[in-house]
């Protein structure tokens, strides 16, 4: 099994074992949370965290609580993004979206609950130096707040960003880039990695976030509905500005190729003393996967 899949299995098993409450009265809320959390998915953020741990020579298992928190937060953002007042999507990963399955009130609360439980789990279960865990959690909160995921969704849903390449890039830097960046950055913080050694990692993560979004936009046009688990062309129908709408399909593919190359170059610039080359292979595999994925 390729290395990222080994890590994904680890993440999936860990997530499947998570319980959020022992109270029977709130079992329905927990069911809605787990419905969305365990709907499959690529688990790119937690896998990235585990592969980063490998790359810097620490045991991936030791960052599983952080990895789980990343996926809980990602799932919460999908549930809220799918709501009727936002993107109004009926299908996600081939199944009814959370509000279609459980009602809009429960979906809002399932998102809220996943976000709270993400912090609860990270703060309670992550082992390490308390000062480093604190810094890691602060980074995660920042990456998901107004200067991160929530701010990016605000720009995206109301088409409020600036026009052109810089505008699209900024929306995605905030909406998806900062959480992908935190998937790498939070592990470096936990490990207490010194600042200079981490610059190339941050460059890699930033470029990976861009690559992820470009490929997402391409797949929305070219992907099979079975693979995607939702109707394609939804960006175009909603008038969303994408890399494809701005640069055409060939232009977007060209941007993806350049972005992938830049991500790999960032990895290769990580100097030998701070990381063994074969250890970073997991990160390289993830970049390849993000580039060539079909869903």
Interface residues toward its own copies, by CB under 8 A: 20-21, 23, 25-26, 28-30, 33, 80, 83, 85-86, 103-106, 108-109, 111-113, 115-117, 119-120, 123-124, 129-131, 133-134, 137-138, 141-142, 144-151, 153-155, 157-158, 160-162, 170, 174
Which residue, 45 or 80, is less far from its own copies as judged by CB?
80
Closest CA to 73 of 14, 29, 120: 120
CA distance 147 to 16: 31
CA distance 61 to 64: 5
CB of 220 to its own copies, least distance (A): 20
CB of 88 to its own copies, least distance (A): 10
Q: Between 178-190 and 64-82, two packed helices, what is the crossing angle to 10 degrees? A: 160
CB of 251 to its own copies, least distance (A): 24
Which residue, 70 or 266, is less far from its own copies as judged by CB?
70
CB of 267 to its own copies, least distance (A): 29
Which residue, 119 or 289, is less far from its own copies as judged by CB?
119
Instruction: Map residue 171 onto helix, strand or coil.
Output: helix
Q: What is the DSSP letter of 273?
A: G
Are residues 295 and 228 in contact, defined by beta-carbon separation less than 8 angstroms? Answer: yes
Which residue, 195 or 226, is less far from its own copies as judged by CB?
195
Which residue, 41 or 111, is less far from its own copies as judged by CB?
111
CA distance 181 to 97: 26
Which residue, 26 or 222, is less far from its own copies as judged by CB?
26
CA distance 276 to 259: 23
CB of 76 to its own copies, least distance (A): 8
Which residue, 154 or 247, is less far from its own copies as judged by CB?
154
Structural tokens at position 48: 């990235």
CB of 101 to its own copies, least distance (A): 14
Give the gyration radius of the chain's Cα atoms. Answer: 18
CB of 84 to its own copies, least distance (A): 8
Burial class of 141 by CB neighbour count within 10 A (0 to 12, 13 to 18, 19+): middle
Torsion of CA 154, 156, 160, 166, to 10 degrees: 120
The β-bridge partners of 95 are 92
């Amino acid at each position: 099994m390729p290395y990222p899949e080994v890590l994904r299995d680890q993440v999936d098993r860990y997530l499947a074992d998570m319980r959020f409450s022992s109270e029977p009265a709130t079992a329905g809320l927990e069911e809605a949370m787990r419905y969305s959390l365990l709907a499959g998915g690529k688990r790119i953020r937690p896998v990235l965290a585990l592969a980063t741990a490998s790359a810097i020579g620490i045991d991936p298992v030791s960052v599983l609580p952080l990895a789980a928190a990343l996926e809980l937060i990602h799932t919460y953002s999908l549930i809220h993004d799918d709501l009727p007042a936002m993107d109004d999507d009926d299908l996600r990963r081939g199944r009814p979206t959370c509000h279609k399955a459980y009602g809009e009130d429960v979906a809002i609360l399932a998102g809220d609950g996943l976000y709270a439980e993400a912090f609860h789990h990270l703060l309670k279960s992550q082992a390490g130096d308390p000062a480093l865990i604190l810094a890691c959690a602060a980074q995660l909160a920042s990456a998901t707040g107004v200067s991160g995921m929530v701010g990016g969704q605000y720009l995206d849903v109301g088409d409020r960003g600036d026009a052109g390449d810089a505008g699209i890039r900024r929306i995605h830097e905030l909406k998806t880039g900062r959480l992908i960046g935190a998937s790498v950055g939070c592990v470096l913080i936990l490990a207490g990695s010194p600042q200079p050694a981490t610059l190339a990692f941050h460059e890699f993560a930033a470029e990976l976030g861009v690559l992820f979004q470009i490929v997402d936009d391409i797949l929305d046009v070219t992907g099979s509905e079975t693979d995607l688990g939702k109707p394609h062309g939804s960006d175009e129908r909603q008038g969303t500005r994408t890399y494809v709408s701005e640069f055409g399909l060939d232009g977007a593919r060209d941007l993806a190729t350049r972005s992938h190359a830049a991500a790999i170059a960032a990895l290769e610039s990580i100097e030998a003393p701070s990381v063994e080359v074969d250890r970073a292979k997991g990160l390289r595999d993830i970049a390849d996967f993000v580039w060539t994925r079909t869903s």
